[in-house]
Amino acid sequence: MGRREYKTIIDRKQSILHFHFSCHRRNFQNLLDLSIFLTGNIFPIYKSTQSISSASISIQFHSDILSNTLCAKMADDCAVTVYNNNAISDPNNNNKNTFSVKVGLAQMLRGGAIVEVTNVDEAKIAESAGACCIIVSEQVNKSGSGISRMLDPAVVKQIQRSVAIPVMAKARVGHFVEAQILEAVGVDYIDENELIAVADEDHFINKHNFQLPFVCGCRSLGEGLRRVREGAAMIRTQGDYSGSGNIVDTVKHIREVMGKIRVLTNMDEDEVFTFAKEIGAPYDILAQTKQMGRLPVVHFASGGISTPADAALMMQLGCDGVFVGSEVFDSVDPYKSVRAIVQAVRNYNDAHILAKVSSGLNDLVASGSELNDAITRLNVDDNNGGNY
């Protein structure tokens, strides 16, 4: 480690942070190294009842792994309240990161698109198109036979070497050894993914035992908060599993989660106790959700998102970002498709920009199954004498 100079000036009354430091001849191998370095200077500053009105960060270091993501994600318009209450307890293990550090790592992805890739070429396209992170996975098994498992670590390393943005990898639900291997490989995030084969039907991974932040899926508020209790630093509300481009389930589950949070915010303490029992959620984390008016961790949408309009819809429904499936690379111009979705996530409230980035994407057509479903519905309506 070379010489390091830094100066921090904090005016808590005005909630203004001016942070400037310089690093010489220091290599940050991944998000974890950089987070540990920054944690003592940035993350403790903003509490659950405070916000940062201004943030100025100047970073110079030998390895520019996070040069395209860190400064943008730490801006005040992308800041999420760091969970620093006692509701989520960490084991007394000095070798593990605190939950707030993991949440801070997940916050760096807020306001971005995480793109699923299967090889180095797709990873490079996603990076150049502006993806905030890539999630590596196997090629989709069209026959539906066989068991999906953790991707070969050699492939993960190969993709890691080819890009400078964070890399996420999937582990089977409950398979903590796969998670241990991925942590040893050096990925930045681990997705305990229920879409691949489930290793343990009764137990999820105890994510507090790992240094890396975990992503977990949910289809309801209770399920999401149970995953947070287990140590998940990011929740993805999951919709379509097949990659068909159908977002109906994704929208349904997001509206269910957001709707219950809105109901929760109007409850008194006695009602919160009963509500926690009804949805099977830990009371303390549910109370924190009521206080914040949102999930206590970063919340992404996943499933069927294949157009800029889909991505903008998820953002307007209240999500912090989106997962984009590998089927986006089946289009004629995958770079243009990914770039359009990234721009839609960043400008989801600007209809003019959405119209611009959505133009010329005729190659993103519905899959064969969706077309067949639409034709079937049309024929049924015609036979019944109705209007479609």
Q: How far apart are CA 233 and CA 144, in angstroms?
A: 31
Mean pLDDT to the nearest integer, 205-215: 94
The residues, ordered by sequence, that sit 6+ positions from 49 with a Cβ below 8 Å of its Cβ are: none
The residue ranking higher by pLDDT, 280 or 96, is: 280
Q: Which of 47-51, 144-148, 381-385 has the lowest mean pLDDT?
A: 47-51
Q: Are residues 126 and 272 in the same domain?
A: yes
Q: Are residues 252 and 313 in the same domain?
A: yes
Q: Is residue 21 part of a domain?
A: yes
Q: Is residue 28 part of a domain?
A: yes
Q: Are residues 52 and 116 in the same domain?
A: no
At 228-246, the pLDDT tens digits run 999 999 999 988 776 677 8
Q: Are residues 198 and 227 in the same domain?
A: yes
Q: Is residue 125 part of a domain?
A: yes
Domain span including residue 321: 99-371
At 288-309, the pLDDT tens digits run 999 999 999 999 999 889 999 9
Q: Are residues 139 and 223 in the same domain?
A: yes
Q: Is residue 379 part of a domain?
A: no
Q: Tokens 């090889």, residue?
A: 119
pLDDT level of residue 38 (50, 70, 90 thresholds): low
Per-residue tokens: 229 = 């209790």
Q: Are residues 231 and 117 in the same domain?
A: yes
Q: Degrees (nearest 5) of the Cα angle 9, 12, 18?
A: 30
CA-CA distances (angstroms) from residue 244 to 148, 155, 240, 250, 298? 19, 26, 7, 12, 25
Q: Degrees (nearest 5) of the Cα angle 91, 29, 71?
A: 90
Query: What mean pLDDT, rounded, does the chain reach?
Result: 76
Catalytic annotation, residues: 170
Q: Are residues 254 and 181 in the same domain?
A: yes
Q: Are residues 59 and 121 in the same domain?
A: no
CATH of the domain at 230: 3.20.20.70
pLDDT level of residue 350 (50, 70, 90 thresholds): very high
Mean pLDDT to the nearest integer, 276-294: 95
Q: How many domains does the chain have?
A: 2
Nearest to 242 by CA among 151, 369, 376: 369
Q: Is residue 288 part of a domain?
A: yes
Q: Are residues 61 and 123 in the same domain?
A: no
- In this model, does residue 316 exceed pLDDT 60? yes
SS3 letters for the chain?
Answer: CCCEEEEEEEECCCCEEEEEEEECCCCCCCHHHHHHHHHCCCCCCCCCCCCCCEEEEECCCCCCCCCCCHHHHCCHHHCCCCCCCCCCCCCCCCCCCCHHHHHHHHHCCCCCEEEEECCHHHHHHHHHHCCCEEEECCCCCCCCCCCCCCCCHHHHHHHHHHCCCCEEEEEECCCHHHHHHHHHHCCCEEEEECCCCCCCCCCCCCHHHCCCCEEEEECCHHHHHHHHHCCEEEEEEECCCCCCCCCHHHHHHHHHHHHHHHHHHCCCHHHHHHHHHHHCCCHHHHHHHHHHCCCCCEEEEECCCCCHHHHHHHHHCCCCEEEECHHHHHCCCHHHHHHHHHHHHHCCCCHHHHHHHHCCCCCCCCCHHHHHHHHHHHHHHHHCCCCC
Q: Is residue 304 part of a domain?
A: yes
Q: Is residue 377 part of a domain?
A: no
pLDDT of residue 41: 44
Q: Are residues 14 and 154 in the same domain?
A: no
